[in-house]
Structure 1
Amino acid sequence: MDIEETQLYRSPSDTDLDFSFTSTATDRTIASSSARSSLTLSFNDCLSTATATTTTTTAASSLHHRKYDRHWSAIETATNLSTDGRLHLRHLKLLRHLGTGNLGRVFLCQLRDSNNANFALKVIDKDSLTKKKLSQVKMEGEILSMLDHPFLPTLYAHLEVSHYSCLLIDYCPNGDLHSVLRKQPGNRLPVQAVKFFAAEVLVALEYLHALGVVYRDLKPENILLREDGHIMLSDFDLCFKSDVVPTYDRRVHSKRMAGSMRKGGDHCFGTFSRRGVVVEEEVVEEEFVAEPTAALSRSCVGTHEYLAPELLSGKGHGNGVDWWAFGVLIYELLYGTTPFKGGSKESTLRNIASSKHVNFHVMEGEDGKGMEEARDLIEKLLVKDPRQRLGCTKGATDIKRHRFFDGIKWPLIRNYKPPEVRGLVAKKGKSHSSSGASDRGCFIPSEEMLVDAVEEGRWRWRWRQLVEK
């Protein structure tokens, strides 16, 4: 996104706030009214001293993993100092314009009484939108208010001022994954880096689908990178919601364990024979599935390079469009381009709609560790028939089992150390201090990691209780 910022004023009251700027932006989203546009927004033009502010502030106590951080502390301080106990636009100090999206403009801001917590403020001028886009604004607000996940944004406040709707959410200083990708040699990431980002996106999609939300706009531009290098999905205006029926089953299967030349004894990953033969062990897994398999929509929205074939047909699509887009994402991260990209938008759409299977660009050095598994996963995700596509029946539960993700301890994923790649400056914290292995090759979690694992277990337990009612 190429944005030229010309001016930005800051003022101490809601009635004088001015978000004036002129910008030119390139948008890859089909649902946008134009590919390039010049926009000007000013609160001064439309607000009067009689304008009322409606504020909805999410209760910090309901967010188990964020309620003690500096952002909620800043919000609590501002609301306690407010005469009516609410957050207002006048409490915000605008720092700079970050970008322009399909529906609104985003600003970096802080609370006036606190400079140690940065926020992103998404400003939407409802008078400039069509009826269809107004419904998308409503959908985004509803979904943001539902979210409580480390890889999804926190909605700190929803401000309605005159015909403006303002969403106060997390700010991600590392930008988006698309920008990071463009800084890499060949616009592609190493396999292990792709595995890291794909795993976190998968967990975020799993959570959304468990809520009955089909995302429909997965692409590197919408994957933001937090201060610690972990991801945060953004932009939920193209989502739609459906009913979901969670299930919880016990799955028994045999697992083949690699042999070892050790002379007996127990290894930290299991028991091995003395002579290094492969040992099969019976494993009992509790299988949680909350996938909106009955979801159905006929709207054609999204980014053309990421659209699934069934979405183009107009006959209806469901949760499978997200798993198709997930396959396109992994392909782009590995190869620096999307798998069906043609010389024009029309040719790209024709390639997607055709019966052609995905082709892999043979590149120097691509036969490294993990590439074969990555290609196999992509092929299973980019199946033209959604009924045969990996993930469409059991969602992330099936995808997590793919050998590309072998070795990932899913309950501890939020504490893994982000990859070291160009353009990503991850701030180190306590969560990264114990992500290594001992001299015996065993993963040793820190106390914080174990707490996160317990939280993950509690989340799944709540779903289980719901299922068994």
Structure 2
Amino acid sequence: MDVGETQLHRCTSDTDLDFSFNSTATDRTFASSSARSSLARSSLTLSFNDRLSTTSTTTTTTTIKNSLHHRKWDPHWSAIKTATNLSTDGKLHLRHLKLLRHLGTGNLGRVFLCQLRDCNNANFALKVIDKDSLTNKKLSHVQMEGEILSMLDHPFLPTLYAHLEVSHYTCLLIDYCPNGDLHSLLRKQPGNRLPVQAVKFFAAEVLVALEYLHAVGVVYRDLKPENILLREDGHIMLSDFDLCFKADVVPTFDRRVHKKRMTGSTRRGGGCFGTVNRRGVEEEEVVEEEFVAEPTAASSRSCVGTHEYLAPELLSGNGHGNGVDWWAFGVLVYELLYGMTPFKGGSKESTLRNIASSKHVTFRVMEGEGKGMEEAKDLVEKLLVKNPMQRLGCIKGATDIKRHPFFDGIKWPLIRNYKPPEVRGLPAKKGKSHPSGHLLGSVSSPRRRGWWRLWKKGGSGLGNLLRSKGSSARYYPLSNSQHYNGNYHHYKVRKSA
């Protein structure tokens, strides 16, 4: 969001927090997005008073514990810990924050860039919601967002550092992403579209984030480029969880039997342990157990979301489930590739008619599409299936989608160490090439370089390292077509046939 002149008036006492912002802000609007919701040019005024001696203002603070958080050693948690240790009641209050500037205005509230007083090495985003200005329905969305944020612990999802209730304000202290959002990045590209390999990078990270949300029973329902923020290191972070709904998840291990071509010394041993196909190539049967945690029983009748990303079953009003996220994922990949959504019409109504109709997605003919475009089109076609029961991802979630040829070459356990693509408007980050040649990996430390050498040598080196670190011997190194989320859960186990 473009922000105009902003005036900041600091209070004179640490026990007072009285900041007033007068700013003119415009939404991320462009010529082709007139059908999308936008905010008019407006004037903003925000004032807080949070006095220790005031009895008329009630302050409730929930500071999230970081003992088990994957980022518990970063400067943000250190700053939070220092502030709470110095606080008289061991809690974080608004008086501990200094607002720097207004970042944007959303459907529920306003977002400000802020820092903790006497600590300028950690930036935060403060989402401020005025509950008195919201309807009961929107208040329920505020409550849902707070609940969802408090559950999250993932590199591509925001961290909730504190939840403050002050008078009629709800304040959420979360991560700040200085590189804007994916929608703004698209507007800076030639033709408003990204190269295929850049699409692969961003789509893979969004896929991992959705996989985590679904594993904890959260259906997102608001996937779009505007809600995909770009962190300082160029990786993504999903935002805005007020349209989510929660459902039960029953994790399962599914057995998958498939044929694998025998190579090397295995093939020279004859056909005792394998079969020969019609072409005379020896194959062996491999039995794999896949960990699947997908809210397949999720159901809601609320019609919410951005109209260009709505799934057909959501429009029908007969109920929808987890499949709406995988439909939106297909729309996202299409928009990143082509600079527009696949069913966009001349008006909002015509767009909705195109989505609800029986016609399938069509692809524009573009010059110089490059390597990987055919695989990308195939992925989009499988995601944008009108019948959710036949849509890729609706049964086994990200487990099936990760197997698609479009994502070949990605080492999923190392995805958060990949180097972001070099595209216009995104600051370049130094890093080394990923061994697959498809994506670039950032591997700066000697320890990480050691991991890469083991990975490049093949499965045995990495497998020995995993076992030496205490990992169970039943987990074996995985090939490019096998996937698990190495940051949190093993998603696949390999056993001999």
Q: Distance in 1 between matches of 2:458 and 2:240?
A: 35
User: The residue matched to 1:255 in structure 2 has which SS?
Assistant: strand
Q: Which residue of 2 aligns with 1:56?
A: 62
Cα RMSD (Å) of the superposition? 3.4
Could you tell me how far apart the structure 1 residues matched to 2:211 and 2:457 are? Answer: 28
Q: Which residue of 2 aligns with 1:374?
A: 376
Paired amino acid for 2:152? L
Q: Aligned pair 1:165/2:170, yes or no?
A: yes
**1:83 deviation in Å?**
1.1
The CA distance in 1 between the partners of 2:199 and 2:282, in whole Å, is 31
What does 1:59-70 correspond to in 2, within 5 Å? Answer: 59-63=65-69, 65-70=70-75
| Distance verdict in 2 for CA 1:207–1:185, change over 3 Å | same
Q: How far is 1:406 from its partner?
A: 1.0
Question: Equivalent of 2:289, from 276, 286, 291?
Answer: 286
Structure 1 partner of 2:46: 42
User: Could you tell me which amino acid in structure 2 is paired with residue 7 of structure 1?
Assistant: Q
Go from structure 1 to structure 2 and tell me whether the alpha carbon gap of 1:34 and 1:231 turns closer, same or farther (over 3 Å shift). Answer: closer
Letter in 1 for 2:193: R
Identity %: 76
Any unmatched runs of 5+ in structure 1? 266-276, 465-469
Which residue in the other structure is 2:392 paired with? 390
> How much does 1:463 deviate?
12
Deviation at 1:3, TM superposition (A): 4.1
SS class of match (2:396): coil
Counterpart CA distance in 2 for 1:165 and 1:463 is 41
Give the alignment of 1:228-239 within 5 angstroms.
228-239=233-244
Q: Is residue 218 from structure 1 mapped to residue 223 from structure 2 by the alignment?
A: yes
Q: Which runs of 5+ in 2 are unaligned?
A: 269-279, 432-440, 473-483
- Within 1, Cα distance between the matches of 2:419 and 2:121? 24
Q: 1:40 deviation in Å?
A: 2.9
Distance in 2 separating the partners of 1:280 and 1:229: 42
Task: Write out aligned runs for 1:344-363 (5 A).
Answer: 344-363=347-366
1:413 matched residue in structure 2: 415
| 8 Å Cα contact 2:251-2:293 kept in structure 1 | yes
Corresponding residue number in structure 2 for 1:272: none
Q: Is the 8 A contact 1:18 1:44 kept in 2?
A: yes
Q: After the TM superposition, which residues 335-346 of structure 1 pair with which residues of structure 2 at under 5 Å, given as runs? A: 335-346=338-349
Give the letter aligned to residue 22 of structure 2: F
> Does structure 2 conserve the Cα–Cα contact (< 8 Å) formed by 1:383 and 1:389?
yes
Q: In 2 relative to 1, CA 348–442 (structure 1 residues): closer, same or farther, beyond 3 Å?
A: farther
Provide the residue aligned with 1:78 in structure 2: 83
Cα distance in structure 2, aligned partners of 1:180 and 1:432? 25
Superposition TM-score, scaled by structure 1 size? 0.86
1:320 aligns with 2:323: yes
> Mean Cα displacement is larger for which, 277-286 or 327-336?
277-286
Asked if the contact 1:227–1:426 (Cα under 8 Å) also holds between the matched residues in 2, the reply is: no
Deviation at 1:179, TM superposition (A): 1.1
Partner of 1:241: 246
TM superposition shift of 1:383 = 0.6
Q: Distance in 1 between matches of 2:199 and 2:491?
A: 31
Shift in alpha-carbon separation, 1:79–1:443, aligned structure 2, 3 A: farther
Structure 2 partner of 1:206: 211
After superposition, the C-alpha distances for 1:370-424 in whole angstroms (9 at most, x for unaligned) are 1111000000000111111111111111111111111111112111111111111
The aligned amino acid for 2:413 is P
What number of residue pairs does the alignment pair up?
Answer: 446
1:222–1:233: 8 Å Cα contact kept in structure 2?
A: yes
1:20 and 2:25 are equivalent in the alignment: no
TM-score for both structures, normalised by structure 2: 0.81
Partner secondary structure for residue 287 of structure 1: strand
Residues 1:122 and 1:376: Cα distance change in structure 2 (over 3 Å): same
Equivalence for 1:460: 489
Do the aligned partners of 2:223 and 2:325 also contact (CA within 8 Å) in 1?
A: yes
1:18 & 1:446 partners in 2: Cα distance? 54
CA distance in 1, matches of 2:408, 2:219: 26
Q: 2:134 aligns with which of 114, 129, 132?
A: 129
Q: Which amino acid aligns with 2:99?
A: L
AA paired with 1:166? C
